[in-house]
């Protein structure tokens, strides 16, 4: 079954909120500051090819980039190509990626994706959203990572836990702070962020979320975005 793309909303999803054009202008100011704060912001997952980035991104689910970066060298050394990964013994892959958690399902997704890539795309990782999300273990978040980071295509915005949290705190989404639907948050971000900045902004927000705007104790006093952030100095522990 073909998975549908999210359709950007034409109007804000809630009445009485910040006007659309005002939100867009504030977003532009936030992006300008992010460029100054994190000019080199990029994906923290180590990779040398589209296949490696795809595998690393699948492994990063419910894990940390640091943990993934520790296991992928051995994985990529043993299985350097899509062909070799497609023919891998699941038990061997599970043993290597065990520290990342959910290793059985991730192994199934990785080997399944490699098989699909070889069977349908000549062993080359596809370059379109529609093709990527048809691969086992690949949804929009993973596809956006591949398209934006490796293929340099701004087809969407990566929404992980950091981006989702900061989108709410910075009021770049119209959804409530309890809204966890990444696709809905992505729809809002695609409206207010300039398309050319979709990939950079996601990377920069992830860096900022890890270093300053942390989940439990955001460092509002030292945050250069605090004058543009409606949640600055109002953190309630949620």
Any domain includes 234:
no
Asked if 120 and 162 sit in the same domain, the reply is no
Last residue of a domain, one of 150, 177, 203: 150
Any domain includes 66:
yes
Angle made by CA atoms 18, 188, 134, in degrees to the nearest 5: 175
Task: Write the CATH number for 175.
Answer: 1.10.1670.10
Asked if 114 and 178 sit in the same domain, the reply is no
Asked if 162 and 109 sit in the same domain, the reply is no
Per-residue tens of pLDDT for the chain, all 238 residues: 444 444 444 444 343 368 888 999 999 999 999 999 999 999 999 999 999 999 999 999 999 999 999 999 999 999 999 999 999 999 999 999 999 999 999 999 999 999 999 999 999 999 999 999 999 999 999 999 999 999 999 999 999 999 999 999 999 998 877 777 899 999 999 999 999 999 999 999 999 999 999 999 999 999 999 999 999 998 754 4
Helices (H) and strands (E) in the chain, counts: 11, 0
Asked if 82 and 170 sit in the same domain, the reply is no
Tell which residue, 37, 36, 9, has the closest CA to residue 23: 9
Range of the domain at 173: 20-41+158-228
Last residue of a domain, one of 150, 181, 212: 150
Query: Are the C-beta atoms of 78 and 91 separated by less than 8 Å?
Result: no
Active site positions, annotated: 141, 160
Cα diameter, the chain: 56
Asked if 109 and 171 sit in the same domain, the reply is no
Last residue of a domain, one of 119, 150, 181: 150
Any domain includes 1:
no
Q: What is the CA radius of gyration of the chain?
A: 19
Any domain includes 233:
no
Asked if 169 and 203 sit in the same domain, the reply is yes
Tell which residue, 211, 145, 132, has the closest CA to residue 182: 145
Any domain includes 12:
no
Any domain includes 14:
no
Any domain includes 85:
yes
- How many domains are there within the chain? 2
């Amino acid at each position: 079954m073909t998975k549908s793309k999210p359709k950007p909303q034409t109007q804000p999803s809630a009445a009485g909120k910040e006007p659309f054009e005002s939100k867009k202008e504030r977003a532009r100011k936030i992006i300008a500051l992010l460029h100054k704060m994190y000019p080199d912001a990029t994906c923290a997952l180590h990779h040398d090819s589209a296949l490696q980035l795809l595998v690393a991104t699948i492994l990063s689910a419910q894990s940390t980039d640091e943990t993934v970066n520790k296991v992928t060298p051995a994985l990529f050394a043993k299985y350097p190509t899509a062909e070799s990964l497609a023919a891998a013994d699941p038990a061997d892959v599970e043993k290597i990626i065990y520290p990342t958690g959910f290793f059985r399902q991730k192994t199934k997704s990785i080997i399944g994706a490699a098989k699909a890539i070889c069977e349908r795309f000549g062993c080359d990782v596809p370059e379109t959203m529609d093709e990527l999300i048809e691969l086992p273990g690949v949804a929009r978040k993973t596809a956006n990572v591949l398209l934006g980071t490796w293929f340099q295509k701004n087809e969407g915005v990566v929404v992980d836990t950091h981006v989702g949290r900061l989108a709410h705190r910075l009021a770049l989404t119209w959804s409530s702070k309890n809204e966890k639907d990444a696709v809905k948050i992505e729809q809002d971000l695609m409206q207010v962020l300039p398309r050319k900045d979709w990939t950079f902004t996601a990377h920069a927000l992830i860096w900022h979320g890890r270093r300053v705007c942390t989940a439990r104790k955001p460092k509002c006093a030292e945050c250069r975005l605090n004058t543009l952030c409606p949640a600055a100095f109002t953190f309630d522990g949620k």
